[in-house]
Structure 1
Amino acid sequence: MQALRYDAYGVIPSLVEIDSPPLPDDGVLIAVRATGVCRSDWHAWQGHDPVDLPQVPGHEFAGVVAAVGPEVTTLEVGDRVTAPFVCGCGRCEWCLAGEAQICPHQSQPGFTMPGTFADLVAIPAADFNVVHLPDAVDFVAAASLGCRFATAYRAVTVHGRPKPDEWVAVHGCGGVGLSAVMIATALGARVIAVDRSLDALRAARDFGAEVVLEAGDDTVTAIHEVTGGGARVSLDAVGTSATAIASIASLRPRGRHIQVGLLLGGDAAPAIPMGQVITKELELYGSHGMAARDYPGMLELVASGALRPDRLVGEVIELADAGAALAAMSGPPTTHGVTVVRMPEPALE
């Protein structure tokens, strides 16, 4: 099959012909129809989040079931599907409790196994991990769900839990940040969006942010002034020491901080202001994707039009251009929202 692969960290990925992945007895092969280009892929490619080399990146995708393992009971060839970027084993205590996103035996396309920048991807424990797509959700929109949108959805709805008219601050307006803006707005929250890019802030305003702030030294002060004492919920959707600390400092007493952006490399151990955490009795959460079990509720909202992940798609490219798109993440963003690779439709056997 055709795949985009990198053989060393930082080397531009190239198109290659490789063997199709083996079909797991409990899994499926999925013909990839669309796959997102995510900053998590960039971190792995840069070596910030080490992976086995060579590696095929890609972890947020949608496609069609091309082959079904003998132990699979809920899927058939031709089904339109997606899957979370964290695939649980389906057997451990965490998976059985519905918390596959923290499964200690998890597998991840593009990280622990070959990813979705390819004609085919293998997904293990398919009855547990693979999600049927409603007909109303197209492949390009669905490709934004598996990482950024689903992560933001769970972060806001499970950890943030904003009530109508409560203030939510979103630090960083890339794909996951704009997703959080859209979701919090749909819940009736009042949203403050923070970013260094004026284009990103314009997008956040378009997605429902009531207030937009250019990130700087006075960001925290401005949030406290706008909200009359701090946000009830604040998300770091970037993943730097500065944004994590600013998010925590933006909160009012008993507020909730959610760390969504990956903290890697020199930002892996930020100096968390624990004094504020104690005196304000703050809640701190990490949010690592969303289990397949929780997808139906989100997909119902997407199919109904209440949530519009398709509006997050900034650019649609071909697989041959995905290496350049990944490399472009090393510089300032040239497009906002989600870049999606649209794959040709292969014939199913």
Structure 2
Amino acid sequence: MRAIVVERYGVLPTVQEVAEPEVAAGGVVLKVESTGLCRSDWHGWQGHDSDIVLPHVPGHEVAGTIAAVGDGVQGWAVGDRVTTPFICACGECEQCLEGNHQVCPNQLQPGFNYWGSFAEYVALPFAAVNLVRLPEGMSFDTAAGLGCRFATSFRAVHQVGKVQAGEDVVVFGCGGVGLSAVMIAAALGARVVAVDTNPGALELARKYGAAEIVQAGPDAVEEIRALTGGGPRVTMDALGSNEIVQQALRVLRPRGRHLQVGLLPDGVRLDVSRVIGQELQWLGSHGMAAHTYPEMLGMVASGVLRPADLVTRVIGLDDVPAALDELSAGTPAGVTVIRPSGVLG
């Protein structure tokens, strides 16, 4: 099969012919119809993830059709249209039995722990607890973005942050995660302020429900305070930046909630005295379990959420190296989806 192969960190990967994955007991092999290009893939390519062993095939946001079914898998058949969270939980540990698949200590992540979905086929483990059947009418391109960016934002905003109607929510970083968060928070009735350096991303944020947009920079904190009457109830770092974290915590009202979703590979320094004195909450959020997808899919089916609108570019495997490299200079507006088949029409 054709796949994107990273042989050295930070050096552009290439398209190569590699062996197709074998189906394992309890798992399936998926024919990849669509897979998202995410900033997490860029972090992996740069060597920020200790789980990756070179040579490596990235890719963790995936939708497709089942091509092979392993021993012991029930209820799934070749040809079924599915997606999966990027965190493939074991389904048997203490956290999984409590429903917290997104923090399973035995989790496997395609594109990180093993070869991922920037390929024509990908293996998925623990099918019984991780496969999600696609609703009729949902495209593979839309579904590919659910497993990481959209589902991650849905859990962060709705399930972890518990955003309520009427609250001011400031989203820092309007890439795929941030734009998803803007759409979800607005759909929940929050008043959203979107912050980014990219004017195109800010215009998309306004399109997806942001009431206000702010150009990122040293004056952003005072502008946000003015727009929110003294500060928001909720902030979210959707990019992963020490500078963003400082601004997000400084701008919060007392007893405000900060959602950290963006990765911080270089760590971060916190003003703990402020966190204590203002009774601020720092809330980490990591993916979303497959069994919690129905509420999100229901809101998509009703039209309240429109993840299809976030997809702004569709490319083939040959375009991936250049698209990864673009992320070194910043996050392009919208969501990029890869179709490994190369059929882009």
TM-score class, shorter: over 0.9
Rounded Cα–Cα distance in structure 2 between residues aligned with 1:332 and 1:171: 14
Does the CA-based 8 Å contact 2:315-2:342 persist in structure 1?
A: no
Per-residue CA distance 1:55-87 (angstroms, 9 max, x = gap): 000000100011111111121111110001111
Deviation at 1:106, TM superposition (A): 0.8
Does the CA-based 8 Å contact 1:26-1:70 persist in structure 2?
A: yes
Aligned ranges 1:74-85 → 2 under 5 Å: 74-85=75-86
Alignment of 1:139 with 2:150, yes or no, is: no
Match of 1:207 in 2: 208
Aligned ranges 1:165-184 → 2 under 5 Å: 165-184=166-185
SS of the residue aligned with 2:322? helix
Per-residue CA distance 1:202-258 (angstroms, 9 max, x = gap): 111111111111111121222222212211111001101001111112211111100
Deviation at 1:316, TM superposition (A): 0.3
Aligned ranges 1:187-202 → 2 under 5 Å: 187-202=188-203
Please, what TM-score do these two structures have when normalized by structure 1?
Answer: 0.95
SS of the residue aligned with 2:233? strand
Aligned ranges 1:95-174 → 2 under 5 Å: 95-174=96-175
Structure 1 stretches of 4+ moved >4 Å: none
Alignment of 1:20 with 2:17, yes or no, is: no
Aligned ranges 1:1-349 → 2 under 5 Å: 1-50=1-50, 51-265=52-266, 268=267, 270-333=268-331, 335-344=332-341
Segment of structure 1 superposing worse, 4-13 or 178-187: 4-13
Deviation at 1:10, TM superposition (A): 1.4
Deviation at 1:343, TM superposition (A): 3.0
Per-residue CA distance 1:288-334 (angstroms, 9 max, x = gap): 1111111111111112221111111121001111121111111134x
Per-residue CA distance 1:90-111 (angstroms, 9 max, x = gap): 1100111111111111110010
- Which AA in structure 2 matches 1:309? P
Does the CA-based 8 Å contact 2:317-2:342 persist in structure 1?
A: no
SS of the residue aligned with 1:305? coil
Rounded Cα–Cα distance in structure 2 between residues aligned with 1:23 and 1:134: 25
- Paired positions, count: 342
Does the CA-based 8 Å contact 1:178-1:312 persist in structure 2?
A: yes
Deviation at 1:164, TM superposition (A): 1.1
Does the CA-based 8 Å contact 2:316-2:342 persist in structure 1?
A: no
- Which AA in structure 1 matches 2:341? P
Deviation at 1:345, TM superposition (A): 8.8
Does the CA-based 8 Å contact 2:197-2:216 persist in structure 1?
A: yes
Rounded Cα–Cα distance in structure 1 between residues aligned with 2:342 and 2:128: 24
Long gaps (5+) in structure 2? none
Does the CA-based 8 Å contact 1:63-1:81 persist in structure 2?
A: yes
SS of the residue aligned with 1:294? helix
Does the CA-based 8 Å contact 1:136-1:303 persist in structure 2?
A: no
Give the aligned CA root-mean-square deviation in angstroms.
Answer: 1.3
- Which AA in structure 2 matches 1:134? P
Rounded Cα–Cα distance in structure 2 between residues aligned with 1:151 and 1:43: 17
- % same residue: 53
Rounded Cα–Cα distance in structure 2 between residues aligned with 1:197 and 1:6: 28
